[in-house]
């Protein structure tokens, strides 16, 4: 085992299991497909002659299905294993996305996107559980950064192609995404079918971290609020309102929506790996606070812009902040659960926090945009991130500093660890 930070950083490629790299590669394909359809969803909904709020509801319906099915997905992971749940989830999203391409009414679009949310929560919960079990504690930030980078690389590729596909046919992105998911499912099955590490993780009988115990940990509670604001901003408002803001307020052509999404993703990618490395060396907390602050400011600025160039600049700021935030936030939750900890409900609740934000964000911000202004919609969204940063300030630093520290400390043990860390 490496004995210094430099040695650890230099050994990442040798230390991270092959399975982690497979998940990262799959994330690229998944995100590229998601990036294809994200700009098309609100515009496709609007083609059925519905208002801004109704178009935003399509985004919220996907997140609502993820939210409602998350506890079930956690139970399935415990009973069937991460690998089976992951592959099944991918297939469900592939089929529902293909069906979306043939929707001939708003209600059908809503139903098919909701079905996709069920599969999405299955592969999301199982992927997070796999990463926690497979990644050594000193590399959690970098693993989260690498995993997020895979997703964001796909998000750079996807929107660029998606914008062009929208101009050809609004249904084309959904067909291409369905095909990408089928390819991803086959790839993951071939690469992980004989994995002994995953089989060992499935059979690990380590004690479970209960949700009540996790909720007594301020770091975990802070992570829930931060993820709620992240879901509100990134998965909700950004996807639902940015396309409409560009077209209706800035009077830009629809093809630029995909480019804007790509700019956000590129800025995100630029920070993820660096943030993950720093979170493993300096600590999780400083970069969570910085990420929430920068993202909040960038989001508020987006709603105040009056030109495309200014909007793109604000998008870059928000993307950089999101990249700063994601690895240390996810690593914090992994620290709470522990490498051998069984924390299905804890992980599901963390995911559910983002989904609640992704549901509420488009609805409330969409209503604000329709009844008041887009500026207020983006302003409230950014302010929520700043509030989450303030709540995190008194939380403990979870970065493991000693090998003898418990895998997932009880709240009492966390207090003892905090006391030992104080100067």
What domains does the chain contain, in order, with CATH numbers?
A: 12-421 (1.20.1250.20)
User: What pLDDT is stored for residue 384 in this prediction?
Assistant: 94
pLDDT at 11 over 50: no
- If one compares 144 and 312, the residue with the highest pLDDT of the two is 312
pLDDT at 411 over 60: no
pLDDT at 9 over 50: no
How far, in Å, CA of 271 to CA of 292, rounded? 13
Position 341 confidence tier, pLDDT thresholds 50, 70, 90: low
Q: Angle 81-86-89 (CA atoms, 0-180°, nearest 5)?
A: 125
pLDDT at 158 over 70: yes
User: What pLDDT is stored for residue 205 in this prediction?
Assistant: 59
What mean pLDDT value characterizes the chain?
82
Position 13 confidence tier, pLDDT thresholds 50, 70, 90: very low
What is the rounded average pLDDT of the residues 134-149? 83
User: What pLDDT is stored for residue 392 in this prediction?
Assistant: 95
pLDDT at 323 over 70: yes
pLDDT at 187 over 80: yes
CA distances, 57 to each of 63, 235, 241 (Å) = 10, 13, 11
Residue 122, Cβ density class (10 Å: 0-12 exposed, 13-18 middle, ≥19 buried): buried
Q: Can you state the angle between helices 140-168 and 308-337, rounded to 10 degrees?
A: 140
What is the rounded average pLDDT of the residues 193-218? 72
Position 4 confidence tier, pLDDT thresholds 50, 70, 90: very low
User: What pLDDT is stored for residue 16 in this prediction?
Assistant: 78
Residue 345 in tokens: 């409900």
Count the neighbouring beta carbons within 10 Å of the beta carbon of residue 190.
10
User: What pLDDT is stored for residue 96 in this prediction?
Assistant: 92
Position 385 confidence tier, pLDDT thresholds 50, 70, 90: very high
Most confident of 32-36, 130-134, 347-351: 347-351
How far, in Å, CA of 230 to CA of 249, rounded? 24
- If one compares 239 and 174, the residue with the highest pLDDT of the two is 174
pLDDT at 261 over 90: no
């Amino acid at each position: 085992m490496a004995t210094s930070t430099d040695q650890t950083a230099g050994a990442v490629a040798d230390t991270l299991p092959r399975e982690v790299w497979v998940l990262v590669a799959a994330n690229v394909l998944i995100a590229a497909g998601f990036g294809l359809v994200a700009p098309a969803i609100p515009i496709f909904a609007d083609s059925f002659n519905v208002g801004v709020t109704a178009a935003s509801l399509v985004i919220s319906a996907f997140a609502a299905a993820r939210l409602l099915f998350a506890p079930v997905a956690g139970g399935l992971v415990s009973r069937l294993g991460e690998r089976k749940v992951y592959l099944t989830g991918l297939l469900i999203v592939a089929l529902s996305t293909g069906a979306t391409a043939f929707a001939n009414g708003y209600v059908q679009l809503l139903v098919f996107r909701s079905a996709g949310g069920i599969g999405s929560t299955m592969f999301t919960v199982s992927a997070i559980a796999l990463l926690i079990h497979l990644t050594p504690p000193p590399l959690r930030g970098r693993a989260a950064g690498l995993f997020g980078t895979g997703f964001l690389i796909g998000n750079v590729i996807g929107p660029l192609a998606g914008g062009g596909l929208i101009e050809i046919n609004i249904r084309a992105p959904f067909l291409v995404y369905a095909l990408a998911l089928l390819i991803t499912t086959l790839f993951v099955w071939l690469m992980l079918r004989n994995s002994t590490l995953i089989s060992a993780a499935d059979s690990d009988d380590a004690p479970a971290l209960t949700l009540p115990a996790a909720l007594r940990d301020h770091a975990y509670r802070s992570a829930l609020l931060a993820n709620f604001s992240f879901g509100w901003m990134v998965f909700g408002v950004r996807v639902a309102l940015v396309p409409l803001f560009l077209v209706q307020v800035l009077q830009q052509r629809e093809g630029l929506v995909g480019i804007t999404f790509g700019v956000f993703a590129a800025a995100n990618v630029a920070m993820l790996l660096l943030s993950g490395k720093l979170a493993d060396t300096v600590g999780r907390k400083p970069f969570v606070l910085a990420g929430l602050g920068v993202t909040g400011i960038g989001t508020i600025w987006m709603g105040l812009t009056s030109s495309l160039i200014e909007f793109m600049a604000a998008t870059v700021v928000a993307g950089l902040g999101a990249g700063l935030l994601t690895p240390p936030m996810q690593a914090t939750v992994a620290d709470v659960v522990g490498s051998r900890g069984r924390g299905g409900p804890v992980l599901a609740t963390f995911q559910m926090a983002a989904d609640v934000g992704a549901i509420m964000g488009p609805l409330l911000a969409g209503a604000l945009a329709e009844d008041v202004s887009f500026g207020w919609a983006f302003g409230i969204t950014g302010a929520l991130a700043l509030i989450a940063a303030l709540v995190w300030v008194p939380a403990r630093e979870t970065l493991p500093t000693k090998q003898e520290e418990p895998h997932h400390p009880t709240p009492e043990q966390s207090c003892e660890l905090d006391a030992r860390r104080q100067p």
